[in-house]
Amino acid sequence: MRKVILTYGTFDLFHVGHLNLLERLKALGDYLVVGVSTDEFNAGKGKQTIVPFEDRLRIVQAIRCVDLAIPEQSWAQKVEDIRRYDVSVFGMGADWKGKFDELEQYCEVVYLPRTEGISSTSLKGLLRVLDKTHVDELKQALGIISAIVERFD
């Protein structure tokens, strides 16, 4: 009997932290099912992604350690998916610790450590430098600094 592992995530701006988590989860069993949050589900959580759902799903499905990528459309589907795929272990990153303990009545629940120094949130912060609004703010600040410097000329 195969040991099925289940996880979920948005996987926006896919990075090595995502890959590390998926590889560690796959090492816990034989078959890894990954739910990728749809854009609509993310909107309901107040999250906006940069990469569209269809692309994120294709990226996750192409990862060697992922056996099946499915859409995550609601919080409630976790129990349904545990039953549908005969899941042995439900795993998430440690930042979710305690949030899914109620699933222990259906399968083992594990929380794995995150990769230090990388997250989609931090990448989005770095990308803010390229945002037009931020560039306009920098231009305005440069104008103010230039005006101050001219006073001393």
Active site residue 47: yes
Q: How many CB atoms lie within 10 A of CB 80?
A: 10
CA angle 3, 88, 39 (to 5 degrees): 105
* Catalytic pick among 45, 99, 132, 139: 45
Of 47, 78, 99, 132, which is the active-site residue? Answer: 47
Residue 115, CA distances (Å) to 30, 59, 95, 97, 119 in order: 23, 19, 11, 15, 8
Count of beta carbons in the 10 Å neighbourhood of residue 36: 23
User: Per the structure block, which two tokens stand in for 59?
Assistant: 């990226």
Residues assigned a catalytic role:
45, 47
